[in-house]
Amino acid sequence: MKSFLQLVLLVFYSYALFGQTRTDTIVVKQNTIPIDIIQHQSTSLAFITLHHDEQTGIAAIQNVLKDSAGIYYCINTNSKRTVPINSDGKRFEIDPNRIFNLMTSPTNYEDESHAIKQHIAKYLLEKLSAADLTIALHNNHDGRYSIKSYQQDARFKNNYLSVSINPMMDVDDFYIVTDSTQFNYFKKQHFNVVLQNNEAIQDDGSLSVFYGKNHRPFISIECQFGHLQQQIQMTKAVYGYYNTYFEPIENILQQTEPDTSK
Ligand SMILES: [Zn+2]
């Protein structure tokens, strides 16, 4: 009996300390899409990874939630970027970060993928709506898309209002934020940060554009593949922002200043 009680206590403390992991599913037509969820204490901060090939971001948030509060949603597509869909014998791939502009548009019955994309978007947005702040984690490749792209690539000229770069930081590691309070916070903490132009940016169906256009708090953490420590630090730094501008959460780590020692 005593050992049973100890086991119950152990399970209870592990849940309280390290969070609970479970898997939910999105069921649409003949498809079952697994959503891995880690919940640790509070649900006020919601984290999401949309691309399952971006494993550095996934490892970073798993690490942070061991000792920080929050809820994390992971579309589990077996390390693939896209979600494979089977619709009445036809097969296609959906990029889960190109679906959120379909939430308000009327269903296009000509396009079989349309209703399926709407279904996935609706599921994810409903889950995330319980949080005060949503944070997406992404990874990019060295020397391609970076914070410099905003200043140097004409295709990005309508996408942003301001850019702040710390020359000590890798240009591939940066935040994309959706309001000027967030921008000023991370700039002051000497992180690379881009302020999205929520009005002028072309709606590509991404989650950051959806949140920006709906004026809801959203932060994207972009890091180069393999920059695990940087992405962990940048994720922890979001708690500092959260505790400054929202009802503070107890028992969470705070991180300020990027570690530029390499
Ligand atoms: Zn991504």
- CA-CA distances (angstroms) from residue 136 to 5, 102, 120, 167, 221? 39, 19, 16, 24, 6
Q: Where are the beta strands (DSSP E) in 64-103?
A: 70-75, 83-87, 90-94
**How do residues 37-68 score in pLDDT, each as one tens digit?**
999 988 999 999 999 999 999 999 999 999 99
pLDDT tier, 107 (very low <50, low <70, confident <90, very high otherwise): confident
Average pLDDT over residues 174-188: 98
- Distance of alpha carbon 30 from alpha carbon 27, whole angstroms: 7
Cα(259) to centroid of ligand 1, in Å? 23
DSSP 3-state of 87: strand
Domains and CATH numbers, the chain: 20-245 (3.40.630)
Cα(152) to centroid of ligand 1, in Å? 21
* Per-residue model confidence (pLDDT) at position 5: 62
Q: Is pLDDT of 222 > 60?
A: yes
Q: Is pLDDT of 259 > 90?
A: no
Residue 82 token pair: 């896209």
Cα(242) to centroid of ligand 1, in Å? 23
Q: Is pLDDT of 254 > 70?
A: no
Cα(250) to centroid of ligand 1, in Å? 30
Cα(139) to centroid of ligand 1, in Å? 6
**What single-letter amino acid sits at 52?**
H
As to burial, measured by CB atoms within 10 angstroms (0-12 exposed, 13-18 middle, 19+ buried), residue 191 is buried
Q: Is pLDDT of 9 > 70?
A: no
**How do residues 28-38 score in pLDDT, each as one tens digit?**
989 999 999 99
pTM for the complete prediction?
0.89
Cα(9) to centroid of ligand 1, in Å? 38
* Per-residue model confidence (pLDDT) at position 25: 96
* Per-residue model confidence (pLDDT) at position 179: 97
Angle at 63 between CA 228 and CA 240, to 5 degrees: 90
Cα(57) to centroid of ligand 1, in Å? 9
Cα(138) to centroid of ligand 1, in Å? 4
DSSP 3-state of 86: strand
To 10 degrees, the CA torsion angle through 32, 216, 39, 78? Answer: 40
Average pLDDT over residues 234-241: 97
Residues 6+ apart with CB under 8 A from 99: 117, 118, 120, 121, 205
Q: Is pLDDT of 251 > 60?
A: no
Q: Is pLDDT of 88 > 90?
A: no
Cα(1) to centroid of ligand 1, in Å? 49
Cα(13) to centroid of ligand 1, in Å? 33
| Range scoring the smallest mean pLDDT among 92-96, 149-153, 242-246, 253-257 | 253-257
Cα(55) to centroid of ligand 1, in Å? 10
* Per-residue model confidence (pLDDT) at position 27: 95
Q: Is pLDDT of 209 > 90?
A: yes
